[in-house]
Each structure stands twice: as C-alpha cells, then as structure tokens.
C-alpha cells in the first residue's frame, strides 16, 4: 500500500470548493485517467479509470462526509484504495484542499507507475487541474450538502 498526500490552495470560498468536490461526475474534467464516475446514490459511486493501457472499473462507498470539512471513501470491489479530502478555510475567499489516499496498485503497470512516482504526479496534477477548474468557473457546478457520519458514530 502506498500513501499519497497532496494539497492545493484555491481562490474560492470553502463552501464553493467543497460543493464542487461533491460533484463526482465532473471528475473526468480535471482528473487524469478518470474516464467516468457515475453517482449511484448518496454514498455509492461507480468509476472507470485508466492507467497506461489498463482500464479498471470499481465501486466506491462514501464512508464519511461533512459539508465544508471532509469527504472520505473506500473501494468496495476492484482496485483497493481509500482516502479523504479535507477543506480548510484559509481566508474569506481561499481554501486549502488536501487529498490523502492509500492505494494498493494492482497489476504490473500500476505497480511500476507507483514505484516511479507516476501516481504521485498524477494526483498532484489532478489537484492543480481542480484549482484551475474551480477558479476559472468561480462557482460550483452543483452541490450535495448531506452529512454522512463515520461508521460507528
């Protein structure tokens, strides 16, 4: 398992950054290798990704979500990974978005991509493209403000 942590400061209010991040179906617009995300219900998504020539499909479950604070997930089937994205208000119109992920690369191509730092660079690029995406728009494409408590709470 590899841990990847990346952050970016975006020049939008925390609620705008958070609201956009909850629009999972827009991820292919700024995430490299993400071909499609389909929202199944409030806590389940289906993903189609590509690393090199390897295409992977998997389902993920939102395990915790609190408006303007965090979104956490884990995969159900397919490639194993889990993570959390947090949102921190730095000022009236500036937000730090931090992504921390645990990834278990599967298959030769993904293991090599992890070892040579391609996955780290991909996440760093995704965060930069998220910044460009949301700052260019200046507002979110939608929002889901529901709360998903951590299991056991």
pLDDT of residue 117: 54
pLDDT for res 110: 61
pTM summary value: 0.89
pLDDT at 103: 78
Domain boundaries, the chain: 2-137
Q: Which one, of 22, 31, 13, 3, lies nearest residue 122 by Cα?
A: 31
d(CA 86, CA 40): 23
pLDDT, position 116: 53
Q: How high is the mean pLDDT in each 10-residue block of the chain (153 residues)?
A: 91 97 96 95 93 84 97 87 95 96 69 59 93 95 88 76
pLDDT for the residue 14: 97
pLDDT of residue 145: 87
Which SS3 state, helix, strand or coil, does residue 150 take?
A: coil
Residues 129 and 9: their CA atoms lie apart, in Å, by: 12
2-137, which class in CATH?
Answer: alpha beta
Six-digit token pair at 47?
């993903």
């Amino acid at each position: 398992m590899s841990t990847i942590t990346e952050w970016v400061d975006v020049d939008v209010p925390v609620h705008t950054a958070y609201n956009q991040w909850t629009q999972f179906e827009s991820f292919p617009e700024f995430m490299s290798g993400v071909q499609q995300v389909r929202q199944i219900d409030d806590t389940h998504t289906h993903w189609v990704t590509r690393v090199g020539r390897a295409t992977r499909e998997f389902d993920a479950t939102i395990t915790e979500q609190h408006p303007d604070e965090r979104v956490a997930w884990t995969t159900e089937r397919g490639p194993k990974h889990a993570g959390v994205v947090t949102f921190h208000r730095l000022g009236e119109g500036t937000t730090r978005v931090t992504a921390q992920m645990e990834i278990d690369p599967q298959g030769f191509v993904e293991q090599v991509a992890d070892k040579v730092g391609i996955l780290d660079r991909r996440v760093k690029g995704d965060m930069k493209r998220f910044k460009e995406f949301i700052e260019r728009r200046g507002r979110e494409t939608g929002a889901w403000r529901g709360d998903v408590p951590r299991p056991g709470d």
